[in-house]
């Protein structure tokens, strides 16, 4: 699997995902389940929405 989610993107996804999950559990609604999507994409480092467009937030270095 190709890694297309960078470090800062992962941190933001975890914070937002855990916030949505926590709010969903507190209010007992389905937003908690939706909040797990950013957490899983951060954990695996792969975002399916980035893939079709060839977008990546990882650091690209030039090989010498």
Give the chain's domain count: 1
Between CA 63 and CA 50 the distance in angstroms is 24
pLDDT of residue 63: 60
Has residue 21 been placed in a domain?
yes
Predicted confidence at residue 56, as pLDDT, reads 85
Question: Is 62 within a domain?
Answer: no
| Closest C-alpha among 49, 26, 27, 25 to residue 36 | 25
pTM for the full model?
A: 0.82
Question: Is residue 42 in a domain?
Answer: yes
Q: For every one of its 64 residues, what pLDDT tens digit does the chain have, with 9 covering 90 and above?
A: 788 899 999 999 999 999 999 999 999 999 899 999 999 999 999 989 888 888 888 877 766 5
Residue 31 in any domain: the answer is yes
Within a domain: 60: no
Could you give the count of Cα atoms lying within 13 Å of 10 in the half-sphere of its Cβ?
13
Does residue 24 sit within a domain? yes
| 11 within domain boundaries | yes
Which structural domain range is residue 33 located in? 7-47
**14 within domain boundaries:** yes
């Amino acid at each position: 699997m190709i890694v297309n989610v960078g470090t800062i993107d992962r941190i933001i996804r975890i914070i937002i995902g855990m916030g949505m999950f926590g709010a969903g559990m507190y209010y007992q609604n389905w937003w908690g389940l939706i909040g797990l999507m950013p957490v899983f994409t951060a954990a695996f480092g792969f975002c399916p929405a980035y893939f079709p467009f060839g977008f990546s937030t990882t650091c690209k270095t030039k090989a010498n």
